[in-house]
A and B are shown apart, each in its own frame.
Chain A
Amino acid sequence: MKLKVALDFGKLDPERVSTQLLPYEVLDSHGVLRAKGVVGSSYTASSVIEAEDSAPVFVRLTLPSGRTLLRKVTSGKKAELVTFSDSSFRGAPWYRWVSPRVSLASQKGVVATQKTISLGSSESVWVRIWQRSESGWRVAPLAFEDPESSKGARQFERQLGSSPFMLQFGGAKTPWRLMSLPGGGRVRVFFAAKSLVQGTEDSVRVVVTGFRPIAETLMQFLKSDPKAAAQLLTASQELPGISSIDSVDPVEALAASYVRLRVGAWSEEQTILLDGYCERFGWIPDFRLLRAITNARSGLSSHSKFDACVDDLFQSIRSGPPIFAEGARLIREMIEILSDIESVNDTDELKLARRLLRTSVDDGVAFSFYGADPYTPTVRRRFGIPEATRESDSRKHAKSGKRAASSVRSWKMSVEEARVESGIAGHEFTKASLPFPSREGSQPVSRSDGYLTFLRDFRRK
């Protein structure tokens, strides 16, 4: 029997942000794997299985969130088409792209569009964006577009240049977190209250897409099932109509490199490619981190290899945290390898790497950590709005020299500008200060700088 498997995920996700490739398995009634493959949004996959008798077979599609969809196929025909659609996915249409990535709770009323824009009954969340330039990290203009909101959820988009970016958010109940954003293109950021998303420890769950569904699906599967990620990677290079993963998009190339390294599919060709990526996309810290690891794994048998490896690691750490959480594994490996070498162990770079690891959050595919700013990963979690802890931050920065000074400047600038932009009187946030309109009658929001708050009736006590 020839089984054709198709995805119909485009109706509610016309931009096909949610996913383009998903692994499927064909099982018999005993759960024995009869065939497996990869299906794409714009590609119908096919598997040929031997139809022994009239026994049915089952096609199981696995979503990045871990959720599976099962379809029964009664054999007897020579060919059968099985289509998986997104019609059963939860969520309002504008955030249904999130549904394959995280498990959304079924809550009556949550999906309905609301005028209120709170993330919870008493929660408030502020957000800002940091950008890395040659002079260091600075708070970047927010310039959000296409904002959407409903009860328990918010979303906005923004264009990012080719440099490291970090999203920072926090609130009265949300510890301050920084999350890497993939630069070099458009990003969409989705915030959801804990009540909306299952399996979230913090009170807010953030999901980011850089509109690179293949790369993002690869990284999600790499977390839960590396073998499936390897299968997807192979398929992504073979499917017609989908660009090769080795194309010039740096984030896709990065995801492919991570998968190959993790599953032991690294080759000499990849090493050559990686040299090119390091050269061409020097603003992505992950590439140098990958090259440091591949060097270390090949044996640091000469001074020059050792120096090159350490240099790559240090340059990577200096230029910012990795884009993907997978980078944390590599940082850990490098620390384990180098920590008994005194000349490396006591360096500022390795200390910062350790702080990043200690504070990193295992939540999603983006690298994220708890911290006051990109320079200050902190184990002790902070809550509230930025100015409440500004002074204590300054003291910390004062101890750590030049870099600290630049971050303090950024910090003060952000706070002061936020006051102007948001019309904050003292520490009060008024309804008029809200930068986000509700979904009804929504207008594009463009702000020059500062941070935004999501809750209109927030009061500092």
Chain B
Amino acid sequence: MTTLYENLTTANNAGIHALVIGIAEYPHLLNGTKTTTKNAFGLQQLTSPVVSAAAFVDWPFRSHQGFDPHHLNPDAPLLSVECLLSPKEATPVHTPAGDVLVERANREAIRLAFKVWVSRLQKNPDNVGIFYVAGHGLLDTEDNTLNILCEDFGFDDDDVWSGAFDFPRTARALERKVRGSIYYFVDCCRQASKKLSANTGKPRPIQSIEHDDEVIHTGSTRLYATSATEKAYGDPGKVSRFTEALLLALKGHCGERTDDSPIWQVDGTTLKVAVDKLLKRAGKSYAPQVPKEDTEKSPRALLGLTQPPKVMVEVDVAPDRHRSSATVYLKSPRGTIVSQVTSPPGVWQTVVPKGIYDVGAFAINEAFAETTMEDQDLSPPAYVRVLRVST
């Protein structure tokens, strides 16, 4: 296991503890570097999971003013980050203390890192846990259970599941172990294999469920990259679509604030809505990928942002012959122009803080009458509209 960051001075206070796992190289799967298992289920080598996990682990370390453990959540500072990566070639991870090469994500390493992460979470009932995993996932159609494959999957053909773990039962076990809140981000395919159903046996969870113990957790959110039986996508060598959307959401494209607090809070439901919209927006030319969220009880907010969430705005003028003579604007309810463009060459794109705006366009040469859509609710992460003008 590799600890990328640990705040020992406040380790017993409430804060965020993260465990990040990315697995791209599977030596025993197709085109791997070692003997291919007879239970490969047609699965190949990957590249995106390690890039995605590295990008995810980079997120809590970055803020506008350098590293500040409180920048994610003033009430719950970042207390520790544990990471395991299985890249094809050594991939250093950027940390506040410099670049670090991390241990590989075989099952035993994951088990040990998991144990450390859980023990940290158990230190304070207000702790918030982050469990991020990217790699191969296989749906067990009998139970609709997602099995996550570790780097050493297929090492032992007599015990095919020795290099995998049962994710839902692992998460279920923690409901009886950890009082705090946990956010699970699972960037894996959830497809079933026909060969899998014929196979005997099942993988074990990393943590067994103690049936005698009562459920003590405050709440949890599981955010899956895709729906059951569906694929999750990522371009080779690039951050996956889900992680890209998740990071964009986490970096200020979602959040809700009440009148009595200056903090914009981000919880599981808010995140799911944002990630869903961002995936739809990015995936217009791809196969659809619909994330699934499951929130149990009332988990503590993951993030507390001091800045209002940002909204990516796309406004097009139709018919497009009027674009060249159009000035498109966003106006606040007090009548102040917040953003505008003249003669946009295509769809006008801008970023504004969340809020209620009038969206309109007027013609420089009176080619069309001024058109306004009043009181538009620009909620993060994105607002997309076509402004139809007429002469």
- Report A's interface with B, CB cutoff 8 A: 27, 29-35, 55-56, 58, 60, 68, 70, 72, 224-227, 262-264, 296-301, 306, 329, 332-333, 335-337, 339-341, 354, 357-358, 362, 379
Contact = CB atoms under 8 A, between A and B. Distances in A.
A153 B348 CA distance: 39
A29 B332 contact: yes
Given A29-B356, A72-B374, A264-B218, 5 more contacts: A27-B356, A30-B308, A33-B258, A297-B215, A329-B294
A337 B209 contact: yes
A138 B298 CA distance: 41
B111 interface: no
Which of B143, B256, B269 counts the most A-chain CB atoms under 10 A from its CB? Answer: B143
Given A30-B353, A32-B257, A262-B296, A227 B375 contact: no
A29 B377 contact: no
A149 B334 CA distance: 48
B290 to A, nearest CB: 10
A35 B260 CA distance: 10
Contact of B214 (A262, A297, A306): A297
Nearest to B299: A264
A178 to B, nearest CB: 18
Nearest to B309: A31
Nearest to A34: B259
B209 A58 contact: no
Nearest to B257: A32
Given A68-B377, A72-B375, A332 B269 contact: no
Nearest to B294: A329
B142 A358 contact: yes
A329 B295 CA distance: 11
Contacts of B227: 362
Interface of B: 141-145, 168-169, 172, 176, 202, 208-209, 211-215, 218-219, 227, 256-259, 269, 294-298, 308-309, 332-334, 353-356, 374-375, 377-379
A337 B176 CA distance: 11
B67 to A, nearest CB: 29
A227 B259 contact: no
B344 to A, nearest CB: 25
A29 B355 contact: yes
A297 B143 CA distance: 20
A33 B257 contact: yes
Nearest to A35: B259
Contacts of A72: 333, 356, 374-375
A324 to B, nearest CB: 16
A56 B257 contact: no
A264 B219 contact: yes
A27 B375 CA distance: 12
Given A29-B333, A299-B213, A225 B259 contact: no
Contacts of A358: 141-142, 144
B377 A60 contact: yes
Contacts of A354: 142-144
B211 A306 contact: yes
B354 A31 contact: yes
A358 B142 CA distance: 7
A336 B211 contact: no
Nearest to B378: A31
Nearest to B258: A33
Contacts of A263: 297-298
